[in-house]
Structure 1
């Protein structure tokens, strides 16, 4: 009897996860759709939805009686009070957001800094900002946890930041330190890999099984890859470091390059300098770039687009994606002259690979990395929804 009870409970938890996962991805799903997608009967789906609603993970709404035929089915959505805290530390700021399971950023703060902070100070500042954001939420809000999008190599097994060179971090357990400081379970991963996940779930890559995402930020360029619908992490989670690919020749045979990596040549800092800005968030940067009349800035931007085209050529030839998504300041470069970038990539890429790919900017805009970081926090909750009530 005990084994039977345990098995039934395991099946129930599995089905709760299936239902919540569908609601998470779709945003609004009718009960009839949940019944069809899961293969469960209507009474079982109704019971599972009721349980998820009691846990404040979903809400049900009356259907639109003016749409469709037959008996209308209630619509299930993520509960607006189920949120995660998302963190993205950068060279010039710590960005923190409150993100719903639907991918909506409902609150955010940008804490600007003069220089990168060490891990201890980053954790202290982040914990204070999270506490201030939590105070603005309803007391009964369900907090899924904290997700951290780090511009560097993050070990997938335990979230250890092996190297974040632009932050000066080496072998730092930022996730466990944030767990201790905030009281919420924290997880960390590479920022661009999380950006790829966010765009695949909610943005330009929705419904696309093979895509490459490149993110450009204050701390350089990173990337993420989705292959056959599954994130490509590599053996330890370090896959996608496109920013370290060489795009110009070394100094000579057998000699190390003194530059030439993608993130050295395609660089937000150079553009900011020509814009005469010390710092800027993503919308401010793009507005300044697109409205500038500086010939020197235009020449530098065109040079960077040329270098970026080499990196995209390499990615397309090697991975044969259906979609290349550009985020961060790379999206702004793309917006400056998308036709030029596409023509440069086309000239260099194998024709058979290029004919099936599209190059687009990220749809989720400046919220992208926060949405990706939040998904990292939501994953354990979706895997085991019942834990939220424990």
Structure 2
């Protein structure tokens, strides 16, 4: 007869785990009392006291009275993450602009700037130089050290080292972005596909909070998707999963820059949307968003003018839902700006035409709540991840 001995966690391991759980809870969900921490994390009050005191001694959290009080007696102190205890730089590189922001612990944006890119002028060297110079400007405004960076890129990115294998709308091929920014910024840099970071942002701070199986599908010049299943990001070989825009939906359709015909992004990307609305293909993003807002005021007209576009959008989403079985699909960028009647039709088609959607008691389709900051927020959270792990050691 044999027996199995299960060893308990060592005290140091337990302390690190508890410290990490408390810090992550405060970083993602904001201030709360010690009592709430104990209830949510299933820890006793003496353990919470030891953890909070340790984090406070490290300068990672502080305690203060709530700004609003109710009832008699002294209110319980709130445990608050200290934003300036750890700053990260988030960078969102797009076809037409670069946006940057400094995020403090807890997710607060402490500074931001952006600049436009001329069409066809996104030369890697110039973009990298701009990022390095702008990082100095942002950091100097706060006079605080930045400890890590996250970068969003609209292309195929190798997860291990941030090599941009192919970003066709930028004209980039085999750009060692992670290596060059790590050297230039002198800090750890995480580079990832923009849609993957959009999914991370929505699951941590957006409409998909608490949803373990979700997708972020974003439409801009191109179309991409980020996938989180079972609470974990799904990346595929080398991190290249997510090029949903190059799923062929119309074999006799328009030629795509990838070499195929009838890719999904040729039917639902920015150019396709401009064609549907009889707008110039080179229209500025601000003007296109304004056109969509105006169209939203006339539901019948919106459904009529975007009838074919809506059909292709729904078709592609049915395919990806059947393949990946998310409970929630979050639409970002231009998709999130589509008029509400269009999104209602798309959601209905996914529920009715996807066998997987019906099997999981219907997949919900929702618009992003983070607007155009989704990629920045995701980049920041990617940068924070190793910091939160290091902070518990």
Contact persistence 2:98–2:114 (CA under 8 A): yes
Q: Deviations over 1:132-180 (max 9, x none)?
A: 111222x2x3524110011112122222222212222222221221122
Contact persistence 2:292–2:339 (CA under 8 A): no
**Structure 1 CA distance for aligned equivalents of residues 289 and 79 of structure 2:** 37
Do structure 1's residue 101 and structure 2's residue 105 form an aligned pair? yes
Match of 1:162 in 2: 165
Please list, as runs of the form range in 1=range in 2, the aligned pairs for 1:119-268 lying within 5 A after superposition: 119-137=124-142, 139=143, 141=144, 143-218=146-221, 220-250=222-252, 258-268=260-270
Please list, as runs of the form range in 1=range in 2, the aligned pairs for 1:323-362 lying within 5 A after superposition: 323-333=328-338, 335=340, 337-350=342-355, 352-353=358-359, 355-362=361-368
The structure-2 alpha-carbon separation of the partners of 1:373 and 1:334, relative to structure 1 and needing over 3 Å to count, comes to farther
Aligned partner of 1:26 among 20, 24, 29: 29
**Structure 1 CA distance for aligned equivalents of residues 320 and 272 of structure 2:** 24
**Structure 2 CA distance for aligned equivalents of residues 64 and 17 of structure 1:** 27
SS in 1 for 2:56: helix
Cα deviation for residue 23 of structure 1 reads 1.0
Do structure 1's residue 91 and structure 2's residue 95 form an aligned pair? yes
Q: Deviations over 1:172-205 (max 9, x none)?
A: 2212211222223211111101111110111110
**Structure 2 CA distance for aligned equivalents of residues 323 and 129 of structure 1:** 36
Q: Deviations over 1:254-293 (max 9, x none)?
A: xx97421111221213445744584545x66423222159
Match of 1:367 in 2: 373
**Structure 1 CA distance for aligned equivalents of residues 224 and 41 of structure 2:** 36
Cα deviation for residue 38 of structure 1 reads 4.2
SS in 2 for 1:384: helix
SS in 1 for 2:63: strand
Q: Deviations over 1:19-75 (max 9, x none)?
A: 211111211232123234445443443343234334443232224784589985422
Q: Deviations over 1:332-375 (max 9, x none)?
A: 12536223223443453226247421111011111111000000
> Which ranges of structure 1 fall in alignment gaps of 5 or more residues?
1-6
CA RMSD between the two structures: 3.1
Q: Deviations over 1:308-340 (max 9, x none)?
A: 111110122222221111000011125362232
SS in 2 for 1:247: coil
**Structure 2 CA distance for aligned equivalents of residues 72 and 347 of structure 1:** 51
Cα deviation for residue 77 of structure 1 reads 2.5
Do structure 1's residue 309 and structure 2's residue 309 form an aligned pair? no
TM-score normalised over the length of structure 2: 0.84
**Structure 1 CA distance for aligned equivalents of residues 68 and 293 of structure 2:** 46
Cα deviation for residue 103 of structure 1 reads 3.2
The structure-2 alpha-carbon separation of the partners of 1:259 and 1:57, relative to structure 1 and needing over 3 Å to count, comes to farther
**Structure 1 CA distance for aligned equivalents of residues 40 and 302 of structure 2:** 52
Aligned partner of 1:382 among 376, 379, 388: 388
> Which ranges of structure 2 fall in alignment gaps of 5 or more residues?
1-9
Bigger mean CA deviation after superposition, 90-99 or 231-240: 231-240
**Structure 2 CA distance for aligned equivalents of residues 142 and 55 of structure 1:** 16
The one of the two structures with greater contact order (alpha-carbon pairs below 8 A, sep at least 6) is: 1
Match of 2:115 in 1: 111
